[in-house]
């Protein structure tokens, strides 16, 4: 809903002009520096994967296609955080009925969908040179696609016009149902036979080393700071949009009362 220009709120010199603050600016700069370093190490300095037993299809390991690990794996790991936050926010909303928790759930879900989309897209591009196909109805891939669609549906449900409490309850229940898929995605490669490889970095079993491991860690750090930045900004945006809607409604009601000559 867009308020007419005449209803624009007055500004104060010390009021924030957006969703940024000192903390988010620091986070943003750190994130940009880390992503810059990630591009340098991920695409230039880190070596491609070589295979001691090269085969005809790959001409020796995954080669440079392996560089996709630095954007795909950190995104896949980090996408769980917003989905878990959405679950927690929805659960707390049902118990506490506080707008704060619902706002957190909605903001986190959008970031989760973004990261999940990136995971699906980069994974698909990676699948072509390594598996010979962009897509396969593998348990991990299928459950991840379902997770993406379920939370996309959750975001759509949040946009259906309704009383705030009805909308929030509906959204919270859908989020709880969709969250069941999160552990399924995480354990899919262990529970079923999968085309997808198992975790590159498990607690005691690291399968890469040297500069490649450093670059992957850099990817995790870059994505983590960016995720924090995104979550803070998205939460603040949702909070502001709710307040803007309240302001708009209050103003519209006041105008109608004035038109009808009803005393306040």
Partner 1 sequence: MIAGYGFGYALAGWGIAGSALTIYVTLLLQRGRRASKRVPAGKRRWSDPDVPA
Name residues contacting partner 1, limited to 70-129 (CB under 8 A).
Answer: 71-72, 75, 93, 97-102, 114, 117-118, 121-122, 125-126, 128-129
Nearer to partner 1 among residue 15 and residue 202 (C-beta): 15
In angstroms, the Cα distances linking 217 to 37, 98, 223, 231 are 11, 37, 10, 21
- Binding string, residues 199-238; x marks residues near partner 1 by CB under 8 A: ---------------------------x---x--xxxxx-
In angstroms, the Cα distances linking 107 to 196, 213, 235, 259 are 30, 32, 5, 38
- Would you count residue 168 as binding partner 1 (CB under 8 A)? yes
Cα distance between residue 141 and residue 46, in whole Å: 27
Name residues contacting partner 1, limited to 12-51 (CB under 8 A).
Answer: 12, 14-20, 39, 42-45, 48
Contact assessment for residue 45 and residue 211, using Cβ atoms and an 8 Å cutoff: yes
Backbone Cα Rg of the chain: 23
How many binding residues for partner 1 (CB under 8 A)?
Answer: 66
Report residue 164 as tokens. Answer: 């705030």
CA-based nearest residue to 20, from 240, 223, 247, 221: 240
Q: Which residues contact partner 1 (rule: CB under 8 A)?
A: 3, 7-12, 14-20, 39, 42-45, 48, 58-60, 62-68, 71-72, 75, 93, 97-102, 114, 117-118, 121-122, 125-126, 128-129, 164-165, 168, 226, 230, 233-237, 239-241, 243-244, 247-248
């Amino acid at each position: 809903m867009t308020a007419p220009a005449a209803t624009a709120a007055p500004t104060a010199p010390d009021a924030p002009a957006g969703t940024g603050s000192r903390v988010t600016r620091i986070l943003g700069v750190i994130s940009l520096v880390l992503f810059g370093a990630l591009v340098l190490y991920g695409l230039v300095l880190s070596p491609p994967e070589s295979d001691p037993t090269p085969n005809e299809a790959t001409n020796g390991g995954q080669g440079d296609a392996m560089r996709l690990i630095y954007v795909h794996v950190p995104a896949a790991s980090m996408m769980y955080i917003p989905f878990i936050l959405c679950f927690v926010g929805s659960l707390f909303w049902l118990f506490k009925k506080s707008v704060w928790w619902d706002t957190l759930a909605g903001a986190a879900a959008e970031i989760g969908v973004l990261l999940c989309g990136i995971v699906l897209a980069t994974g698909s591009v990676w699948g072509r040179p390594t598996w010979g196909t962009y897509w396969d109805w593998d348990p991990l891939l299928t459950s991840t696609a379902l997770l993406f669609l379920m939370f996309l549906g959750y975001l759509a449900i949040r946009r259906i016009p309704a009383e705030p409490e009805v909308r929030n309850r509906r959204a919270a229940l859908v989020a709880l149902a969709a969250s069941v898929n999160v552990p399924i995605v995480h354990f899919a490669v262990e529970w079923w036979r999968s085309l997808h490889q198992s975790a590159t970095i498990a607690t005691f079993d690291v399968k890469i080393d040297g500069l490649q491991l450093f670059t992957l860690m850099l990817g995790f750090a870059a994505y983590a700071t960016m995720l924090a930045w995104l979550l803070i900004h998205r939460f603040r945006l949702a909070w502001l949009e709710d307040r803007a809607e309240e302001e708009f409604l209050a103003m519209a009601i006041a105008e109608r009362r004035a038109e009808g000559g009803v005393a306040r």
